[in-house]
Amino acid sequence: MPDVIDTLAGIAPGSPLHAIRDQRPQARLHAQASYDSLFSPLSEADASRLERFAIACFVIGLHGRPEMEPLYSAGLTGAGAPAGLKDAIAKAAAAARGEGPYGHYPKGPLSTEDQAGPVHRLDAAARAALGRRLAAAFEHTHMLVFHPRDSAPAHLQSLIDAGWSTTGIVVISQLVAFLSYQIRVVAGLRALSARPA
Which residues in 111-130 contact another protein (CB under 8 A)? 113
Please identify, among the stretches 25-33, 66-74, 75-83, 128-136, the one whose residues bind another protein according to the rule CB under 8 A. 25-33
Please identify, among the stretches 66-74, 87-95, 131-139, 141-149, the one whose residues bind another protein according to the rule CB under 8 A. 141-149
Pick between residue 33 and residue 128 the one whose CB is nearest to another protein: 33
Measure the CA–CA gap between 128 and 138, rounded to whole angstroms: 13
Query: 79-84: long-range contacts (C-beta < 8 A, 24 or more apart)?
Result: 79/48, 79/49, 79/50, 79/52, 79/53, 80/50, 81/50, 81/53, 81/54, 84/129
φ, ψ at 103 (rounded to 5°): 130, -175
Q: What angle do CA 81, 83, 85 make, to 5 degrees?
A: 60
Element (H, E) at 183: helix 166-193
Please identify, among the stretches 72-80, 88-96, 118-126, 154-162, the one whose residues bind another protein according to the rule CB under 8 A. 154-162
- What is the x/- site pattern for another protein, positions 177-196, by CB under 8 A? xx-xxxxxx-xxx-xx-xx-
Q: Kindly tell me which residue out of 3, 7, 37, 131 binds another protein, with binding defined by CB under 8 A.
A: 37
The nearest distance, CB 121 to another protein, in angstroms, is 18
